[in-house]
A and B are shown apart, each in its own frame.
Chain A
């Protein structure tokens, strides 16, 4: 009798285990199918948006809002791709129109969100379409605790040549190591001549050797005119002046 009872209990647990495994497999398959469908949907959406943008670029005309652009994450990704390919001309006009209609209002709302992914979205939008009117939000995002937010906000700040933003980016570059340092370095190297004069100004006022080192690394990496007053200031007193060395050559 006891053996039969034990057997029944074992059988019950075995059935329970099989049922759990079955549900686990079913949910895994469901998840795979869901992600597969999502990937196809996402790809189709991207293709439709890309085709529409190319059509606007091929036959320039004023932008008419279209419901296919009503997916902010996918649209932002498409816009970033185009922004890596093109600049100026019709693209700039089209980018401005699309961003103003679909992305900037959402970015302004999400810039103050508690969730870093939403703040990351806002930073990405501002890096694609930086506007002076959004500088307060950009400067707030540049001080974010999450690297994926502050680093992307730096792109917008450098593009707008915001002195505070350039200063913060230079500070991050001086403080960071390895990849993160290179990330900020590349952002600053893409800056305009004005950005470089801002860097020279910040570096000549700073007493931090890390800032001096980061600034010199930037000046060495670009073909902008070397800011001699700054170089002479940090040049060792035992060594000849930088401009004197240049005139000797």
Chain B
């Protein structure tokens, strides 16, 4: 994928599991994206509410169970302020039907349950980014 030719090239990752965050950051960096990783809910909220930070973003990967906040709350607030600006992919170990529906209803375009397959997650993420660029 010729990522460098597009204007939006930033992937924002929010997950409190720092090892997994590192692994995801490295996977996206290897695909040529600019990556910003955040491990705290409040920090994510502050970062995402700043318009400058999300202007160049092409994907937001958001974990639900953060130590200080529910990822769903971040999703709601972000969608209320910048509706459909960035495709959001929810990532969570809460894999019950109602949890998935809650995420999708609030505006997430996809919901990936943990444990997940890294190649499948990357495939989904790249498809969403490609759609966003189109």
* Partner-B contacts on A (CB < 8 A): 50, 54, 57-58, 81, 83-91, 223
| Given A54-B22, A57-B23, A89 contacting B117 (CB threshold 8 A) | yes
| Given A58-B26, A223-B97, A86 contacting B19 (CB threshold 8 A) | no
A57 to B118, CA, bound (A): 9
* Interface status of B38 (Cβ within 8 A of chain A): no
Name B115's contact: one of A50, A84, A223 (CB within 8 Å): A84
* Interface status of B114 (Cβ within 8 A of chain A): yes
> Interface size (B, Cβ < 8 Å)?
17
A90 to B27, CA, bound (A): 13
B2, chain A: closest CB distance, angstroms: 23
| Given A58-B27, A84-B93, A223-B97, A90 contacting B118 (CB threshold 8 A) | yes
Q: Cβ of B70: which chain A residues have Cβ within 8 Å of it?
A: none
- B114 and A54 within 8 A (CB): no
A108 to B114, CA, bound (A): 29
A68, chain B: closest CB distance, angstroms: 16
| Given A50-B19, A223-B97, A85 contacting B115 (CB threshold 8 A) | yes
- A89 and B19 within 8 A (CB): no
| Closest B residue, CB atoms, query A50 | B19
A115, chain B: closest CB distance, angstroms: 30
- A88 and B27 within 8 A (CB): no
Q: Cβ of A81: which chain B residues have Cβ within 8 Å of it?
A: 19
B5, chain A: closest CB distance, angstroms: 25
Sample of 22 A–B contacts (CB below 8 Å):
A50-B19, A54-B19, A54-B22, A54-B26, A57-B118, A58-B23, A58-B26, A58-B30, A81-B19, A84-B93, A85-B17, A85-B19, A85-B114, A85-B115, A86-B118, A87-B116, A88-B117, A89-B118, A89-B119, A89-B120, A90-B118, A91-B118
Dominant secondary structure of chain A at its interface with chain B = helix
A40, chain B: closest CB distance, angstroms: 18
| Closest B residue, CB atoms, query A84 | B115
- B97 and A88 within 8 A (CB): no
Q: A87-B115, A88-B118 known; 17 other A-B pairs, CB under 8 Å? A: A54-B19, A54-B23, A57-B23, A58-B23, A58-B26, A58-B27, A81-B19, A83-B115, A85-B20, A85-B114, A86-B115, A86-B116, A86-B117, A86-B118, A87-B117, A88-B119, A91-B118
Most buried by A among B17, B19, B26, B27: B19
Q: Cβ of A85: which chain B residues have Cβ within 8 Å of it?
A: 17, 19-20, 114-116
Interface residues of B in 67-119 (CB under 8 A from A): 93, 97, 114-119
Most buried by A among B20, B23, B120: B23
A81 to B115, CA, bound (A): 10
Q: Cβ of B114: which chain A residues have Cβ within 8 Å of it?
A: 84-85
| Closest B residue, CB atoms, query A87 | B115
Closest A-B pairs by Cβ, 10 of them: A88-B117, A87-B115, A89-B119, A89-B117, A58-B26, A85-B20, A89-B118, A86-B115, A50-B19, A54-B23
- B22 and A88 within 8 A (CB): no
A54 to B25, CA, bound (A): 12
A85 to B115, CA, bound (A): 4
| Closest A residue, CB atoms, query B26 | A58
A54 to B117, CA, bound (A): 14
A93 to B24, CA, bound (A): 18
Q: Cβ of B118: which chain A residues have Cβ within 8 Å of it?
A: 57, 86, 88-91
Q: Cβ of B17: which chain A residues have Cβ within 8 Å of it?
A: 85
A249, chain B: closest CB distance, angstroms: 20
A218, chain B: closest CB distance, angstroms: 14
